[in-house]
């Protein structure tokens, strides 16, 4: 079985506080599509992937830990809806995994790396929001954050 198909059934976990503090803020739910209500992302996996990428770029890795409540969703959601993003996440995990190329046969390792960088990404986003609650209220903020990233970062 290929890596991608083994990953498809696995779940990416995340903490509930990040669900409330970030994912619900930025990701829409099925059916609520009045233009005024619309969140920047229409689905949960988008917000999650965004956070994960931020974690990778700023090299912040935070283990999930055992305490606290959590939620999870299937990797296949990203694979089915996100096109290249799923591949990118795997490649990013590869770049950071201590197991090097061996992680390509260890889907659990890939999942773990992604989860921990996503967790770190959430914390980075959370601290931006804490500094300024309305930071991401303006949709322009998302692209601005993109352009702020420097190519020379890790």
Partner 1 sequence: MLIKSIKLKNFQCYYGDKHEINFTDGLNIITGSIASGKSKLFDAFYWVLNDMIFVTGKEWVSTKGLGISLVNDKAKYESQSVDDLIETSVEIVVNTTAAKNSKSIEYTIRREYLISRRSMKDCFDSNTWTTSTPTLTVEYVNQKNSNHEIAQGQDAKEIIENLFPSKISPYIWFQGEALDKLIDFDNKGTLRRAIDYISYVPLYKTMNNIISTVDSKISKSARKQIGKLSGNAKLYNELSRQIEEKNNSIKNNKQLLEDKSKTLGERTDQMDEVEAALSALAEFPKLSEEKIEINNDLININNDIERLDIKERKRFSSLWMLYGTKKSLQTAADRLIEFEDHRQSLISKEYELPEDVPGDVYINKMLKNELCMICDRPAEKDSEAYHNIKAKLNRKIKPEYLTPENEQINTEVLTFKAKLGTLSRNYNSIKSEIIAHKKELDDLIEERSIYKDKIQVVNDDIDKLYTKRGIDISEGAKTHRNKHGEYKTLNEEVRNLNRKIETYKASLRDAEMQIAKLENEQSKIQRVNTNVNVVEEEIAKYTKYLANHISEIEQKEYNKLIDQIESEANMNFEQITSVNRTIDGKIKIDRETFRVLNVNEEGRELQNYNTGHYTLMKMCIINAIISLTNDYKDESYPFITDAPTSNLDDKATFAYLESISGTFEQSIVITKDISEDEIEEIKQKDYISSLFFLKIKNDTGNEKMNRKEAYSTITPIKN
Partner 2 sequence: MKKLTINDRLLESITRATSNFSDTSLDKTTLLEISKKLVDYVIEVDSSHTKESGAATSLENDLYHKIQ
Quickly tell me which residue has 């970062």 as its tokens.
Answer: 153
Q: Does 16 bind partner 2 (CB under 8 A)?
A: yes
24's contact among partner 1, partner 2, none, with CB below 5 to 8 A by partner kind, is: partner 2
Number of residues forming the site for partner 2 (CB under 8 A) = 5
16's contact among partner 1, partner 2, none, with CB below 5 to 8 A by partner kind, is: partner 2
x/- mask, partner 1, residues 7-36, rule CB under 8 A, reads: ----------------------------x-
Using CB under 8 A, pick the residue from 3, 4, 24, 135 that binds partner 2.
24
The separation between CA 100 and the C-alpha centre of its own chain, rounded to angstroms, equals 21
Q: Does 145 bind partner 2 (CB under 8 A)?
A: no
How would DSSP label each residue in 116-138?
HHHHHHHHHHHHHHHH-TTTTTS
Q: Does 124 bind partner 1 (CB under 8 A)?
A: no
Q: Token digits for 2?
A: 């290929």
Q: Are 104 and 37 in contact (CB under 8 A)?
A: no
Q: Token digits for 40?
A: 């920047």
The SS3 call for residue 74 is strand
State the residues that interact with partner 2 by CB under 8 A.
16, 20, 24, 29, 69
């Amino acid at each position: 079985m290929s890596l991608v198909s083994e990953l498809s059934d696995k779940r990416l976990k995340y903490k509930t506080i990040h669900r409330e503090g970030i994912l619900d803020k930025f990701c829409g739910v099925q059916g609520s599509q009045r233009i005024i209500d619309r969140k920047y992302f229409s689905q949960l996996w988008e917000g999650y992937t965004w956070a994960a990428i931020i974690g990778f770029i700023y090299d912040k890795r935070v283990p999930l830990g055992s305490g606290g409540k959590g939620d999870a969703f299937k990797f296949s959601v990203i694979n089915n809806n996100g096109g290249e993003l799923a591949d990118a996440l795997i490649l990013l995990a590869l770049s950071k995994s201590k197991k090097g190329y061996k992680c390509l046969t260890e889907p659990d390792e890939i999942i773990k790396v992604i989860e921990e960088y996503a967790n770190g990404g959430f914390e980075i986003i959370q601290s931006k929001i804490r500094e300024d609650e309305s930071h991401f209220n303006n949709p322009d903020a998302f692209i601005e954050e993109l352009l702020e990233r420097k190519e020379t970062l890790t």
